[in-house]
Amino acid sequence: MDYPSVFPQHAEARVEQARIKAFRDLAHPKKNLKGVKRRRTTGPYGLLWSDAEEDLQNCVLQVWKSFAREAIELCRSGVWTLEVLRTEVYEFLRRLTIEAYHSEGRTRGLRCMTGECGSILPEVMSEYQRSREWAWFTNEMLRLLNARARQPKQVLSVATVQGAPHAAHQADPQKPAERVAKQRREAVNAYIEEVRSKTGKRLTRSDLWRSQRYKSRTEFERWERNDRRATKAAHEKFTRMLEEKPHLK
């Protein structure tokens, strides 16, 4: 799997451990998945999913939960914003679903889990959202939001109002490079939301860097966080993309 560049090696190792175990258990379901409680979602004509299809969905969710747990810690430590957390968690789930189907589902003759453009099929996404893993993630997100809501607002001191030399810096501790990174994140988020509201398409950051013919997320992430290693070419490409808005055409 391709992990975000800021993902710590120890976190990546834990996710890979969960991934190996989940796919190993999937290979021997009668032995390793005995006693696992199934959702048994029904429709107008009976069960929506076969046992094998539900086992594959559960396999994906187990690995995804491991990634989401590590991603939440990055958000708690301030490395990721809540918006980046949501985007990365969904993108990991999408790529994992594609991998799981092509490596396990197709060979077993199971129904496809993603559409032609690579997005998770609505009925599969609905099944994910009914799971205990999704309920856990929703609760963790609420905890993060509640923690943010309880943080006291910064109050300007008398020295700041009177114009003390160092007071303005204390009120706005962000460095110029951090302000640029924040502005770029906000611009990308605004563009993604604009595309969603005007076209109904759920755009991800992966869609953005792929549209500029990059094979990995590295250059985009360096540019977005204003990394000194970001190239001039990447800056020109992503800036032009946000100005011309090709996904709206």
Pull the structure tokens for residue 50. 């076969």
b/e code 158-196 from CB counts within 10 Å (16+ = b): eebeeeeeebeeeeeeeeeeeeebeebbeebbebbeebe
pTM (2 d.p.): 0.60
pLDDT in tens, the chain (249 residues): 788 888 889 999 999 999 999 999 888 765 545 455 656 665 565 667 788 888 899 999 999 999 999 999 998 888 888 888 988 999 999 999 999 999 888 888 888 888 877 888 888 898 899 889 999 999 999 888 888 777 665 444 443 334 444 433 444 455 667 778 888 888 888 888 888 888 888 889 999 999 999 999 999 999 988 888 889 899 989 988 988 889 988
CA 95 – CA 67 distance, rounded (Å): 12
Rounded Cα gap, residues 215 and 33, in angstroms? 37
